[in-house]
Amino acid sequence: MIAADEEGTVAELGEFGLIAALSQWLPRDPRALVGIGDDAAVLAAPDGRVVATTDFLLEGRHFRRDWSGAGDVGHKAAARSLADVAAMGAEPTGLLVALAAPPDLPVSWARELAAGLAAECARAGASVIGGDTARASCVLLAVTGLGDLAGRDPVRRSGAAAGDLVAVAGPLGHAAAGLALLSAGLSRLPARAGLALPPAAAGLVAAHLRPAPPYPAGPEAARFGATAMIDISDGLLADLGHVAEASGVLIDVATDRLDPGEPLIAAARAIAGARRHDSLPRTDGGVTASSGDSPRAEALRWMLTGGEDHSLVATFGPGVARPADWTVIGEVRPGRGVLVDGREWAGPAGWDHFR
Amino acid sequence: MIAADEEGTVAELGEFGLIAALSQWLPRDPRALVGIGDDAAVLAAPDGRVVATTDFLLEGRHFRRDWSGAGDVGHKAAARSLADVAAMGAEPTGLLVALAAPPDLPVSWARELAAGLAAECARAGASVIGGDTARASCVLLAVTGLGDLAGRDPVRRSGAAAGDLVAVAGPLGHAAAGLALLSAGLSRLPARAGLALPPAAAGLVAAHLRPAPPYPAGPEAARFGATAMIDISDGLLADLGHVAEASGVLIDVATDRLDPGEPLIAAARAIAGARRHDSLPRTDGGVTASSGDSPRAEALRWMLTGGEDHSLVATFGPGVARPADWTVIGEVRPGRGVLVDGREWAGPAGWDHFR
């Protein structure tokens, strides 16, 4: 067995040394009948069907190594795929991780990545069962999440019907607010003179770096008969748009049902203050408000259009019981598309990777 | 439904247009209970276990767009993962494909990629069931292969025992010879003066661009009781090294059992001729012989150390029946490591991605 020298680089460790080290760092789960180190993993699939999804997490596109530590990247990579599994109503069971890295990547970075992957898998009830390594000029991850339906029907995007209520589990806009705080330079300690990160907003940067999807809410919604479900990765309105299109319905979101809460308001106020202080250029894409908006309007915009919280949004038939941790935010009507308070949303609804 | 304009770029089509187009281009399989276009796919896993493996295929690292057409890349990406599934003794059932691309990638390139993926999946009995798209500065693929064991035990790397025979299914060294021909400029038409690609070697470039793993040989070997198995992706000696290490045995390869055949000999002769003609610098890594070697020695070196054929090598107990399409090339003895004709192999045995 090769001992990983955590002072070195992955090139010094070599491909097979890195794989051996990863298999030591990552805990084993009895459902992984064959784990890391063979041609393929073998995972228990007791339902007789397997839920499977794959996602990239690319340096410079989905994360920055100066903002995200290796552990953060591990959490985010696992969350990205396992939230998709939960959004089908399935329980996450396994994760495959392909990692490409520059040869000078410190072994300690890979170890922290593995720790983040393992911790997020543990939150979801899954484990890392295999992967691949390659060389690249930056860090590239491709993660595949697998899950089990335990006899339930999968909850698809296409099942929403007029009369259903729309409900959400997990926070909205927290990751977007955290990204806006990072972009405004408001996350670093010691705080810049007069521009301290408000304590109420301190958790938002963490929400961007380490999204924490509400995994059990997915299978729970399926047990309660959710008619459609999706994980919020592109933004609430954009992802509801996928549900509306697949289901052939109109979804109307009621902003009086959306409570930004003190953290988002505090973050919006702090960013507005920083803009006045610095005349900061906009560097954060379309997810923050124009600087003339009120803090509440900016917070609402994060909730409606910010992606990457990996919260879940689902539709439930009218008059049926809903699980306690789901909050109604709108309704399904005949028609097509997504409205906010009965009107078209002005501005970008979310994220398109090629635009 | 968005119609894909094949004259345009993926940026013009947009992320969701590209996903919609891919779902139109790729044939559906009834085992894909939920296919492309939801948060995750749902695939039948009748065995109650699922075999799962993931692999990168990165432009500039695993393929060159000036050598490989999009269809070639699709074939190779699918083969890379599905051969790993077969090497466990499983039947390939599904493939997830994550594709990152520059925004100016032609839509026609994506369509040809999809056709190559679909054709190789069809060779293996599988289908593309889902994926992801992202933007990057070059083409990045991460493919996840899934498969079903149909009640059989998985064939691992760790089961070889002294007394077993070592056998191979599929060609050896063909992809390496094809790469050497490409590196020597011997593949393009019209041929350079006096340096035509010999007709016997014409299939080798195709073997590099579109490896064709012998998928049915994997489950067949499992049914015949193979004790260990691996797919040859890094090179025969390197991959046998993984089996020897995992099994705690010595494997001895007999070169008099390895018949290079006319194609490899012709390719080695042509490359030696091109080197004399051009004083070509070495640009092809460690997989070709030094120019002083005889054509047969160079051909043997490709067979022993060339990766990417994705043929299968397995061990079978002594005195048991073996399937007809497996050729014995060596034996397992007490000890550790891999020998060639009873001696240590001098020179690199294969490929380490970080070195």
Tens-place pLDDT, residues A206-253: 999 999 999 999 999 999 999 999 999 999 999 999 999 999 999 999
Residue to test with chain A: of B39, B107, B233, most A Cβ within 10 A: B39
Residue A30 pLDDT grade (very low, low, confident, very high; cuts 50, 70, 90): very high
Interchain contact B135–A (C-beta under 8 A): yes
Interchain contact B106–A (C-beta under 8 A): no
Q: What are phi and psi of B163, to 5 degrees?
A: 100, -20
**pLDDT given at position A276:** 78
The low-confidence residues of chain B, meaning pLDDT below 50, are 1-3, 280, 282, 284-291, 355
Interchain contact B162–A (C-beta under 8 A): no
Residue A286 pLDDT grade (very low, low, confident, very high; cuts 50, 70, 90): very low
Contact B42 A149 (CB under 8 A): yes
- Asked if the A157-340 domain carries CATH number 3.90.650.10, the reply is yes
Give the helix, strand, coil percentages of chain B, each rounded to 5.
35, 25, 40
**The pLDDT of residue A85 is above 80:** yes
**pLDDT given at position A290:** 47
Question: What is the distance, to the nearest Å, from the Cα of residue B66 to the centroid of all Cα atoms in its chain?
Answer: 19
Chain B nearest CA to A279, separation (Å): 30
What's the predicted TM-score (pTM) here? 0.92
Of B14, B56, B97, the CB nearest to A132: B56
Within A248-350, where are the H helices? Answer: 261-278, 295-305
Closest-CA residue of chain A to B238: A16
**pLDDT given at position B2:** 44
Residue to test with chain A: of B12, B13, B34, B38, most A Cβ within 10 A: B38
Question: Comparing C-alpha atoms, which of A65, A351, A353, A68 is closest to residue A208?
Answer: A68
Contact A354 B11 (CB under 8 A): yes
**pLDDT given at position B275:** 79
**pLDDT given at position B1:** 38
**pLDDT given at position A186:** 83
Chain A nearest CA to B13, separation (Å): 9
Chain B nearest CA to A288, separation (Å): 22
As for the ipTM of the complex, it is 0.91
Residue to test with chain B: of A39, A137, A229, A231, most B Cβ within 10 A: A39
**pLDDT given at position B290:** 47
**Stretch A68-84: mean pLDDT, rounded?**
97
Chain A positions in Cβ-Cβ contact with residue B355 (cut-off 8 Å): 11, 14-15
**The pLDDT of residue A196 is above 50:** yes
Mean model confidence pLDDT for chain A:
90
Number of other CB atoms surrounding residue A294 within 10 Å: 13
Residue A256 pLDDT grade (very low, low, confident, very high; cuts 50, 70, 90): very high
Domain with CATH 3.90.650.10 in chain A: 157-340
| Element holding A339 (H helix, E strand) | strand A337-340
Interchain contact A222–B (C-beta under 8 A): no
Contact A40 B33 (CB under 8 A): no
Interchain contact B48–A (C-beta under 8 A): yes
Cα dist from B63 to A24, A312, B77, B135, B233, whole Å? 31, 38, 10, 18, 14
Within chain B, where are the H helices? Answer: 10-13, 15-25, 70-86, 107-124, 174-183, 202-209, 217-223, 236-247, 261-278, 295-305
Mean model confidence pLDDT for chain B:
90
Instruction: Fold for A10-148, please state it.
Output: 60s Ribosomal Protein L30; Chain: A; (3.30.1330)
3 state DSSP class of B334: coil
Which of B283 and A330 is assigned the larger pLDDT?
A330
Give CATH superfamily name and number for B12-148.
PurM-like, N-terminal domain (3.30.1330.10)
Domain with CATH 3.30.1330.10 in chain B: 12-148
Which of A6 and B26 is assigned the larger pLDDT?
B26
**pLDDT given at position B10:** 92
Of A49, A52, A135, the CB nearest to B354: A135
Please state whether beta strands A165-169 and A327-333 pair in parallel, antiparallel, or not at all (unpaired): antiparallel
Q: Which of A15-29, A141-155, A288-302, B323-337 has the lowest mean pLDDT?
A: A288-302
**pLDDT given at position B6:** 67
**pLDDT given at position B5:** 55
